[in-house]
Amino acid sequence: MITRDRTRFLEAASRCAPDAGPATARAAFLVTPEGFARAEQSASDNRYMADASGFDADRALAQHRALQSALSVSVPVVAFPGDPSTPDATFPNNVFATARVDDTPRLIIGRMRHPIRQREAERADIRGFFVDALGCATIDLSAQPHACELTGALVIDRARGIGFAGLSERCDEDGARRMHEAFGLRATFMFDLAPGEYHTNVVLAVLAGRAAVYAPRGFADVADAETIASLYAPHAISLSDEEAAAFAGNCIALDPQRAWMSARADASLRPSTRAAFADAGFSIHSVELDAIEAGGGSLRCCVAEIF
């Protein structure tokens, strides 16, 4: 079921046992920031993006290589080459995602709002890797008209098969329904993001199916944030405005013990927030990504999970 109704969603989600699949990915892939620069189309609805003068392509490449190396302690990590004609391709999780539905692996291709990002969905090498090398069936949403920017817009609890779809110009209700079906989810909660927020995964993360990290300021109605938090209590970690602005909500668990975030996010954490991560069983690991964060996303945005 997919709904905006908090009560209905909680009733359904509370019945979802953690047996839908693995809580964390078996591998991940990245796309290198070749020709990393400001994409003006994306900047029109991404307030986190720096001015053109704030981009350093060489530093972004170096930090991206360090990110791939660091994440490899959790899972195997492969990287595809970037393309200067698609400067946002460094954030591939919006365009490509995977799922295993009825024991069949799926490659899901999203519908991006901006034409400059729609080009990314056409990449034959990425499609071929998943279809020809990994044997995935393809669910291609890129040609339909409704924005659905995959795991940027939709945060998923893979263990329970639950989705959290934040609606904005980058994901409408019809797009959310298409993603709900493509990922084979049991229950999806739709809610409005606060004005100025473009992706759910900047203000919400579910870590290994047992903890939620959320920024109340990112939700149009704080009651929606509280609804999600109630599912993960006592391991619902509320971020301050300062922590959220530093991308602390844009974190990910690629194994059951480690939470990954940028060095900027790590440095922003209050002692109480650090303690909450520890109480949930996560050690915090971080990578310097200030050059990549100029593009309006952070560590989780760089990582496309392979399930």
Exposure string of 229-268, with b = 16+ CB inside 10 Å and e = fewer, is: bebbeebbbbbbeebbbbbbbbbbbbbeebbbbbbbbbeb
Q: Which pLDDT belongs to residue 50? A: 75
Q: So what's the pLDDT on residue 151?
A: 98
Note the pLDDT of residue 176: 98
Mean pLDDT by runs of 10 across the 307 residues of the chain is 98 97 98 88 81 89 98 98 91 97 96 92 97 97 97 98 97 98 98 96 98 98 98 98 98 98 98 98 98 95 98
Contact 64, 30 (CB under 8 A): yes
CA dihedral sign, ordered 252, 254, 256, 258:
negative
The alpha-helical segments, DSSP class H, found in the chain are 6-13, 40-43, 57-71, 115-118, 124-128, 150-153, 173-182, 222-232, 241-245, 263-268, 271-279, 290-293, 299-302
- 257 vs 260: CA distance, rounded Å: 10
The pLDDT value recorded for residue 155 is 98
What CATH number is attached to the domain comprising 124? 3.75.10.10
What would the two tokens of residue 201 be? 């995964």
Q: How far apart are CA 87 and CA 90, in angstroms?
A: 7
Judge whether 117 and 88 are in contact, CB under 8 Å.
yes
Question: What pLDDT was estimated at residue 202?
Answer: 97
How far from chain centre, in Å, is Cα 94?
Answer: 7
CA 246 – CA 1 distance, rounded (Å)? 34
Q: Count CA atoms closer than 13 A to 143's CA, side-chain side.
A: 3
Range of the domain at 120: 2-306
| Number of domains observed in the structure of the chain | 1
- The pLDDT, as a whole number, for residue 116 is 85
| Predicted local confidence at residue 46, as pLDDT | 84
d(CA 50, CA 70): 25
Q: pLDDT at position 208, please?
A: 98
